[in-house]
């Protein structure tokens, strides 16, 4: 099964545990195919640096390590940088139509 890792899942899995951590663990074991994108990794870096006050060197160190665990995809069209709880508003509705992915 392919699972899109958004910023919330990554941060929750790393810092807090629960279902998000289980998703990360299942990705590490190969039970799930974890998918992300350059724009989501940029957002992750921004959030851990600003909201959680990680030093920029540490915030920048996370995304390269996710490259080992994830398949990198580009969305079918550029996504608007919006924060919203609605996938349609945030532009993620097209992610479900992604076929094979590229780095």
Residue 96 covered by a domain: no
Q: How many residues does the chain have?
A: 103
Domain carrying residue 51: 2-75
**Number of domain units in the chain:** 1
Q: Which of left, alpha, beta for 30 (phi over 0: left; psi -120 to 50: alpha)? A: left
pTM to 2 decimal places:
0.65
Looking only at the bridges linking them, the beta strands covering 2-4 and 33-36 are parallel
Residue 14 included in any domain: yes
Residue 17 resides in a domain? yes
28-44 pLDDT, tens digit each: 899 999 988 888 888 98
In this structure, is residue 44 part of a structural domain? yes
Beta carbons of 36 and 72 less than 8 angstroms apart: yes
Look up the CATH number of the domain holding residue 50: 3.40.50.1010
CB-count exposure of residue 84 (10 Å: 0-12, 13-18, 19+): exposed
Cα–Cα dist 9/23, whole Å: 8
Q: Is position 36 within any domain?
A: yes
Provide the percentage of residues in the chain whose pLDDT is more than 70.
71
Binning pLDDT at 50, 70 and 90, where does residue 94 land?
A: very low
Residue 60 lies in a domain: yes
d(CA 46, CA 52): 10
**Structural domain contains residue 81:** no
In a domain, 84, yes or no: no
């Amino acid at each position: 099964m392919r699972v899109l890792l958004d910023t919330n899942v990554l941060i929750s899995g790393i810092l807090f545990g629960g279902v998000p951590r289980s998703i990360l663990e299942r990705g590490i074991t190969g039970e799930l195919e974890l998918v992300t994108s350059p724009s989501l990794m940029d957002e992750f870096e921004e959030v851990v640096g600003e909201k959680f006050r990680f030093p920029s060197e540490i915030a920048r160190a996370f995304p390269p390590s996710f490259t080992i665990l994830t398949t990198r995809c580009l969305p079918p069209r550029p996504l608007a940088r919006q924060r919203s709880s609605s996938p349609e508003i945030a532009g993620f509705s097209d992610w479900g139509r992604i076929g094979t992915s590229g780095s």
